[in-house]
Structures are given as C-alpha cells and as structure tokens.
A and B are shown apart, each in its own frame.
Chain A
Amino acid sequence: MKISKYPFAVLSAALFTVMLVTPITSISNLIWLSSVDMPVTFITSLEVILFDFQRLGFPLFAVFTIAFGIAFTVAGLLSRFTIYGGNNLFALAGAAAIGVALILMVELLFQTQLLGGNRSFIGKIFHWIAGFFGGYFFYNLISTERTYTFVVRFFGIFYAYVLLGLVLSWVFTPSAAAANFGFILTDLSDSAQNALLRDFTSFFVATFIFSILGVITLNPAWFFSAGIIYYGAALFNLIAIYAHGTSYNQIYVGEIILGTLPTLLALTIIYKKKSI
C-alpha cells in the first residue's frame, strides 16, 4: 500500500538532524567545562548529551521540521522543473535550511544566540553539515517506496523520544524528577527513597524499551505493553482519587495520551497484517 511518505520523511529527517545537531552544543559546552578544570567524566558527558538531545532537541525539532518542509518543497520543485536534482540538491537544501533557520532564530526572535554550539564559526559549519546530512537522509527516505511500517516506526521513535526525557530525569536527576511528581526526596526515609527511585525509574525505562523494541520488531505486543502500563496508571490514578480520597491529579490525561499512542500503533500493525 502506498502512503504519503513525504510528510513523514520531513519529520524523520528533522529528528535525524536534531540527533546530529544537539551534540554540537553539548560537546562544545563540555570542552569549555573541561578547559576550566570542571570534573567532566564519561557519565557527565553522557548525561549532558542525552539531556540536550531530548530537551534542546524538542524545540529544534519543531524549527527544523518547518525549515525542512520549506527547503525540501523548493528542492522538489527545482528537481521537477529544472535539470538539477538528486541527493546533492536535497543535501544542499538541508544545509541551507538549517543555516537560515538558525540565523532567523537570532535575528527575528531572540537577538541572542540561544544555541550554545552555534556561537563559534566552527560550530556554525557543523550545523550546516548536520543539515546537509539531514537533506541526504530525506532524499534516501523518499527514493524508495514506503509502507505503513515507515509511519509506525516514526511514531514509535517519536514516542520513545518523548519518554526519553522522563527516563533521563529519573536516571540522572532523581531529586528533580521526584519533585515533579510531588515528592521531596530528602523528606522520605531511606527505604522509601529506594522504593520510589527503583519503581519510577523502572516504570519509565521499561516503557521506553518496550517502544524501542516495538519499533525494531514491529511486534504489536511491545506497543500494547507500553499502552497497558499507561492506561493502568490512568485507571489507578482515578481509583486513587475517587476510591481512596487522594487529591485530584490531572496527570491522568497525560497517562491516557501516553497509553493511546502505542495502543494505536499496535492496532495498526495488527490491522495491516490482517489486510495483507
């Protein structure tokens, strides 16, 4: 079955480019921290790179999606109506898109360079190169026929990307993560702290891994597993409110959303497999 692959190719290329771009800021920052004798280790580096990929990556994903959407449309028109075309055209369009987007972010929005890695000339070059590879990746995605699995995989990866923020918070900054859920970690007993950290971390890491396994194997059971866990959280949230008298907590809305997306992916896989 044919699908409209272009929008998902743009989204995928944007996410791919985010993955290339965010380490530029992370690494430039880590290099500077090392230069002033801060104790940068492998673990702290990993923490910075992963956090940046998730937290810095999110707004960049939106910016790059718009920039690529425009640039690749222009490149597509050029390849259709002129003699120019091929992967190099889209790669150049990707580089131009990132370059222009980052300039406009400064000139039109903030008047300051929000992206730490883009403050130096070499940093700017790396960003353009990342855009170049993003364009190349886009061309590869649209060059071959795509089926529904492409869409399922994109949404599965995006879902894991959203969960990654929670995973990183619980793994690297558990106090802050606990505070977001209403716990003051240091107020709890040692055993309560241990229980909280192991259970919450395990909860988010497990659902993250389920979604990654779902993307790799396209086995709906993995997506269903993630969905069941979040639907369960929403259900027991409501039971806690109405049966056990806890205060109202609207986080169940988020839990329903987090349960619905993988469930829909699982149902899509089952439906499509049946129709084939």
Chain B
Amino acid sequence: MYLRVLLSLLFLPNFLLASYKYETIVDDLDDAWSMVFIDENTILFTELPGNLKIINLLDKSITNIANTPKVHYASQGGLSEVILDPEFKSNNKIYLSYSAKNKNNKSTLFLSSAELKDSTLENQKVIFEAVAPRRTSVHLGAKIAFMHDGTLLLNSGDGFDHREKAQYLDNHFGKIIRINTDGTVPQDNPFVNTAGSLPEIYSYGHRNMQGLIVTSSGDIYENEHGPKGGDEMNLIKPSLNYGWPAITYGIDYSGAVISPFTEKEGMEQPLLHWTPSIAPSDMVYYEDTLYPEFTGSFLVTALVSKDVKKVTFVNGADNQESLFSDLNERLRNIEVSPAGFIYLLTDGPGGKLIKVLPKE
C-alpha cells in the first residue's frame, strides 16, 4: 500500500507535466521499423525480421502480407522502409528497402517495387542493389522518399567499417541515391557524366542516415547518426559532399578521433548537429493544422533521447523543443495521417504504435 502511494508520488511530476495524451493502438510489434498510411484508417508497416503488415485502425486487426522479399535480418538489417507510389490508388505499387545477401554472400541494401494485391505482393522487381557490400548488416540507411519529379531517393549508409568510402564516388557507401521508379538512372543526376562515379549518386559524404523527407516546396532534408556526438540534420542538394568522415562533430565509439576537423571548403556544414547524440531515427515536416503548435516544424524522432525534437529554423539558427518524452520510449518512426494526426512507432521487440492526440 505504502509502496503504491510512494510510486504514485514518484510518477506524479511526469503526469502533471504531460501535455499530450496518447492512444496505444497496438503493442507487441516485432522490431517495427517503418509505416505509411494507405488511408486514414489503414497503415502499412514493416518489421525488421521481414514482415510486412497492414493494421486496420478501426478494429485494430493486423493482416500479414504474403510474398515479401527474402531479407537478411541481422543486427540493424532486415525489412526497412515501405512507401507508396504517388499513384498507389490506381497502380497499387509500393517500394520496399531491405538488407539481403548479394551474389557474393555479402549483405547490402536493396530497393524493390511490388504491387500490393489482396494481402500479397505481386510483380516484385529489384530496382536497385547498392554497391555497398558488407560483412555485418549495419549502417544501411534505407529510408526512401519521392521527389516531386517522380524520382526516388534512397539513403545508403556508410556500413560502419567502410566509412572512408563515403568520400569516394565509385561505391554507394554513405550516399543518397536517386533513381527512377523502374530502376533506371535519371539523366540529370549530378555524376552521370563523371568518369569513375556511380551514376545513381545524388549526394555523398554521409554516415548512417535515418530520416529523409521532401517537403511540399521540394526541399530535401535528411538526418543521420553521428558516432559519439555529431548527429546531423542536413539540407540536401545534388552533387554536394557532406563531409563524413573527413569532417565531423563526433568522435568514434572507441573514443578515437575520427577527424580533428569540423569544416572544410567544399564540404557542407549541417543545418544543426546534436552533441551529445540523440540518435535521430526519422523525421516529418508538419504542414497540417491539427496541432497548430507544430505547423511549419520538423518533428524528429530520437532513440537515445527518447523524445521527438521539434525543430524550427529562424534566420539560420535552430530552435528546438523536446516533445513526448513522458512516453519514455525509444522512438523509431513518425508519420502524419492524411487527416493530420501524428503516429509514432516505438523501437525494438514489443514495440507500440501510438497515436498522439491533439491538445483540446
């Protein structure tokens, strides 16, 4: 009895501070990684072990999708991102990124298209295989976004052990990739005519990219894990070098110096960096009005700081606010429903899908 009173007193401050109410839609998800709204009441989501599922938000039922790609589920790898084709309602096309073994039995990043019909994937086609083979399935990136011209962007991480390759254009480590939906290379890609460069590369010098978004104005933003410190948020422009690992605000997990330099001409500075690390995992740019306090803000989910960072920029300077920290969850993914509601996925086994209710 006394223990219960004591515990309730301990948790009282959190309760009083909570500004938002949450509704847990489902829990016990198995390493849920990404989600996308098919409509206001239907979410398509991935789980790293290779599961693609649909959840009906009305009755909270979950349907497994059959015939998903064979993935290499290990460490940080598995079935990662899912997004819908802009013409999904007419063509049922979706795009999936995942780690799988290549022909040399090394793990790398793949991007496939498929048609979602009657809870089954049909007409699957691998449209991109990263030239980024690695022994251990880590630092894959794997976020996908559509540009306004209908081309696809894909994060391809630095593979940890291959960080220096992020500075060279003959591989896909630490790059943002741009391809057409059929896997061909857009002829206006920046390195199409550069000898020795892979034509899919859009920008380079990245580490372990996570959030990747294209705003309604067409601007591309990404965030990425630094090592110990040096998490970054960047405005992405074609052909630019974002510096990793030649310049960084972080140090290695081992304590070693990665680079004593934080800037160099010809290498882009981040819009902001987080030191110590927050481990950003996803990002949206909130353009709806259901939560007017968020309109015009970036909402960045974080694994280490267990919150959502609301980020705005005024005259180039960032302004940040921590949200939803009372959930005390490692947050993996954030999406905005067609009606403007914010949904969160928590990280790891036993993960939850949480709806954030607007303030009354």
- Give A contacts to B, CB under 8 Å: 22, 25-26, 29, 32-33, 36, 38-39, 44, 47-48, 51-52, 55-60, 111-116, 119
Contact = CB atoms under 8 A, between A and B. Distances in A.
Contact of A56 (B138, B164, B246, B256): B256
A52 B246 contact: no
A29 B258 contact: yes
B136 A38 contact: no
8 contacts: A22-B256, A38-B264, A39-B261, A51-B256, A56-B252, A56-B256, A59-B255, A111-B136
Given A36-B167, A38-B264, A113-B161, A29 B256 contact: yes
B254 A59 contact: yes
Interface of A is mostly: helix
Size bracket of the B interface? 20 to 34
Interface of B: 75, 136, 138, 160-161, 164, 167, 246, 251-261, 264
A52 B161 contact: no
A44 B138 contact: no
A56 B254 contact: yes
B256 A116 contact: yes
Contact of A112 (B161, B167, B251, B257): B161
Given A111-B136, A112-B160, A112-B161, A33 B259 contact: yes
Given A111-B75, A111-B138, A26 B257 contact: yes
Contact of B251 (A33, A44, A55): A55
A26 B257 CA distance: 7
Given A36-B167, A111-B136, A112-B136, A55 B256 contact: yes
Contact of A44 (B167, B258, B260, B264): B260
B75 to A, nearest CB: 6
Nearest to A111: B136
A178 to B, nearest CB: 14
Contacts of B164: 32
A48 B258 CA distance: 9
Contacts of A26: 256-257
B136 A52 contact: no
B261 A52 contact: no
A60 B164 CA distance: 23
B264 A114 contact: no
A32 B253 CA distance: 19
A56 B255 contact: yes
Nearest to B249: A176
B246 A33 contact: yes
Contacts of B255: 52, 55-59
Contacts of A56: 252, 254-256
Nearest to A106: B136
B252 A114 contact: yes
Contacts of B75: 111
Nearest to B247: A38
